[in-house]
Amino acid sequence: MSNHHDLLIRGGTVVDGTKAPRFDADLAIDNGRIAAIGDLAGATAKRVIDARGRIVAPGFIDSHTHDDQALLSQPALPFKVSQGVTTVVAGNCGISAAPLRADMELPMPLALIDAPKHARHATFGSYLDALRAQPASVNVAAMVGHSTLRALVMADLDRPANDAEIAAMRAHVDEAMRSGAIGLSTGTFYPPAAHATTEEIIEVGRPLSARKALYVTHMRDEADRVIEALEETFRIGRALDVPVVVSHHKVQNAPNHGRSGETLALIQRQMQQQCIGLDCYPYTAGSTMIRTDRGMLDARILIASSEPHPEMAGRDLKDIAAQWGVSGTEAAQRLQPGSAIYFTMDETDVRRILAFEQTMIGSDGIPLGDKPHPRLWGTFPRVLGHYCRELALFPLETAVWKMTGLTARTFGLHQRGALQVGHHADVVIFDAATVRDTADYAQPMRPAQGIESVIVNGALTWHDGAHTGARAGQVITRGEARRA
């Protein structure tokens, strides 16, 4: 082994992503891989980073994103890289960038992450090829979305799919799997898939079984009927014999506050029968398309974007309604289509779910407009600063594991998520004493503090508070993810 490396990170404290206790070591990188970890006193390198007093960890893996189009249209992804994120899981909540036809009109919420029509991809394979041809600054593992497939093959979304439509969707899932998708996501909470039956999802998902690809879901209900929704998710996983992931687990609306005790106990119990994962974002507000259903208009609502009224972004629905002299429902209808921030959760539930051993960290950020939910820029530093350091919800080793090793294992991301010799060199260097989110609801696009350097496949991508311009992200496919 040569002693002259591409990159050498000197004197840091390694938190390796496995939950093992931290240790002091140097880390060397060659050809995009981790070449050595230990006392490398005699080594030299083309570039040396002094990491004394800093934590050296695997680059964070964002387990839940809607970056499908941003990877192509804003490939520097500063809102990810500035947080220490080096890999994103895309295609969540039933929504994927492909397959789509150029002539389709997309319903909400699919339209939230749509591309210009000429830039749409008719197959999942062609979407992944585009990502390879024009790499982004982070790695991506992508899923195909059931709502996207419904919009593609069904003329009318307000009913269950018939046998021919199920067969057509299944063929698209098969194509996506062959091309390297890591799973199928659903969003039965949303209108385009609300009428899909459990059986429809199982039959569409058949191609997952042979590959043990993931079934990932924004469940039908995260409020009064959350237990039934969990049972449905588990049933689909058992029928297909594949791992399931419960996306952005939460219990919404005041009458359900406190019920995370019940949901986590059920998840814990069922984990003994089948493979289950879950993720969570560290905020008591969610963000989604502007809705007018009962229950969702009770709590505080902040408008994030509105097509007919872009000037209302960043304002409370209540104030807009007062200004217009109309009801909240009427104001919400006038603001559609658009997205909003809903303060529907309780802090006690958020903490309990975050602290649950098997919960991964995912942002669920929507890279749209200039008043996004602050989770887009703040999720990972908020967990490290607020929940880990300030509230001591868990040790730093556990926080890092929830963002790296656990996530890589859950999604089958081979040779990522842990600092080990031979692994892909995705690395973040941060200051555990100062790392914190600065994005809030008023100023949601402020980058985190304390994230000092971010390395993606060996390429220095964020350094000294600035993006280097590197775009070394790779497409992680199911084939590669399968262990030898």
Residues lying near Cu ion in the complex (CB under 5 A) are found at: 92-93, 364
Q: Per rule CB under 5 A, is residue 93 in the interface with Zn ion? A: yes
Contact 62, 360 (CB under 8 A): no
Q: Please identify, using beta-carbon distances, which residue of 248 and 352 lies nearer to Zn ion.
A: 248
Minimum distance from residue 135 beta carbon to Zn ion (Å): 26
Q: Per rule CB under 5 A, is residue 108 in the interface with Zn ion? A: no
Q: Please identify, using beta-carbon distances, which residue of 189 and 430 lies nearer to Zn ion.
A: 189
User: Going along 159-274, which residue ranges are E strands?
Assistant: 183-187, 214-218, 244-246
Handedness of CA 412, 416, 417, 419 (dihedral sign): positive
Minimum distance from residue 110 beta carbon to Zn ion (Å): 12
Minimum distance from residue 196 beta carbon to Zn ion (Å): 15
Q: Please identify, using beta-carbon distances, which residue of 92 and 453 lies nearer to Cu ion.
A: 92
- What does the block give as tokens for 120? 């749409």
Q: Please identify, using beta-carbon distances, which residue of 92 and 468 lies nearer to Cu ion.
A: 92
DSSP state of 310: G
Q: How many Cβ atoms from other residues are within 10 Å of residue 406's Cβ?
A: 25
Q: Please identify, using beta-carbon distances, which residue of 93 and 246 lies nearer to Cu ion.
A: 93
DSSP state of 316: B
Instruction: Tell me which stretch binds Zn ion (CB under 5 A): 130-138, 173-181, 211-219, 308-316.
Output: 211-219
Cα 231 to Cα 249: distance, rounded to the nearest angstrom: 14
Q: How many Cβ atoms from other residues are within 10 Å of residue 10's Cβ?
A: 18
Instruction: Tell me which stretch binds Zn ion (CB under 5 A): 91-99, 328-336, 406-414, 454-462.
Output: 91-99
Given Cu ion, Zn ion, none, residue 80, with its beta carbon under 5 to 8 Å by kind, binds: none
Minimum distance from residue 247 beta carbon to Zn ion (Å): 5
Minimum distance from residue 66 beta carbon to Cu ion (Å): 6
Q: Please identify, using beta-carbon distances, which residue of 364 and 437 lies nearer to Zn ion.
A: 364
Minimum distance from residue 329 beta carbon to Cu ion (Å): 24
- What does the block give as tokens for 403? 């963002």
Contact 403, 2 (CB under 8 A): no
Given Cu ion, Zn ion, none, residue 45, with its beta carbon under 5 to 8 Å by kind, binds: none
The residue whose two tokens read 């992944």 is 128
- What does the block give as tokens for 121? 């991809």
Given Zn ion, Cu ion, none, residue 81, with its beta carbon under 5 to 8 Å by kind, binds: none
Cα 464 to Cα 148: distance, rounded to the nearest angstrom: 40
Q: Please identify, using beta-carbon distances, which residue of 165 and 364 lies nearer to Cu ion.
A: 364
Instruction: Tell me which stretch binds Zn ion (CB under 5 A): 124-132, 149-157, 191-199, 217-225.
Output: 217-225
Distances (CA, A) of 294 to 120, 150, 291, 297, 346: 35, 25, 9, 6, 19
Spatial CB neighbours of 71, under 8 Å, sequence gap ≥ 6: 77, 88, 90, 131, 136, 138, 140, 473
Minimum distance from residue 205 beta carbon to Cu ion (Å): 18
Minimum distance from residue 109 beta carbon to Cu ion (Å): 9
Please list every residue from 218 through 247 that binds Zn ion, using CB under 5 A.
218
Given Zn ion, Cu ion, none, residue 166, with its beta carbon under 5 to 8 Å by kind, binds: none
Cα 442 to Cα 454: distance, rounded to the nearest angstrom: 27
Return the residue nearest Cu ion (CB atom): 93
Q: Please identify, using beta-carbon distances, which residue of 218 and 373 lies nearer to Zn ion.
A: 218
Q: Please identify, using beta-carbon distances, which residue of 6 and 364 lies nearer to Cu ion.
A: 364
Contact 301, 253 (CB under 8 A): no
Given Zn ion, Cu ion, none, residue 416, with its beta carbon under 5 to 8 Å by kind, binds: none
Minimum distance from residue 187 beta carbon to Cu ion (Å): 8
Q: Per rule CB under 5 A, is residue 402 in the interface with Zn ion? A: no
Q: Please identify, using beta-carbon distances, which residue of 232 and 364 lies nearer to Cu ion.
A: 364
Spatial CB neighbours of 413, under 8 Å, sequence gap ≥ 6: 61, 87, 141, 407, 476, 481
Contact 250, 349 (CB under 8 A): yes
Phi, psi of 321 (to 5 degrees): -60, -40
Contact 445, 377 (CB under 8 A): yes
**Minimal CA–CA distance to 223: which of 246, 255, 188, 198?**
255
Minimum distance from residue 288 beta carbon to Cu ion (Å): 8
Q: Please identify, using beta-carbon distances, which residue of 349 and 364 lies nearer to Cu ion.
A: 364
Given Cu ion, Zn ion, none, residue 67, with its beta carbon under 5 to 8 Å by kind, binds: none
Given Cu ion, Zn ion, none, residue 232, with its beta carbon under 5 to 8 Å by kind, binds: none
Minimum distance from residue 93 beta carbon to Cu ion (Å): 4
List 454's β-bridge partners, or say none: 428, 462
CA angle, 172 then 481 then 415, to 5°: 155
- Is 8 exposed, middle or buried (CB count within 10 Å of its CB: 0-12, 13-18, 19+)? buried
By residue count, the chain amounts to 484
| Contact set with Zn ion (CB under 5 A) | 93, 218
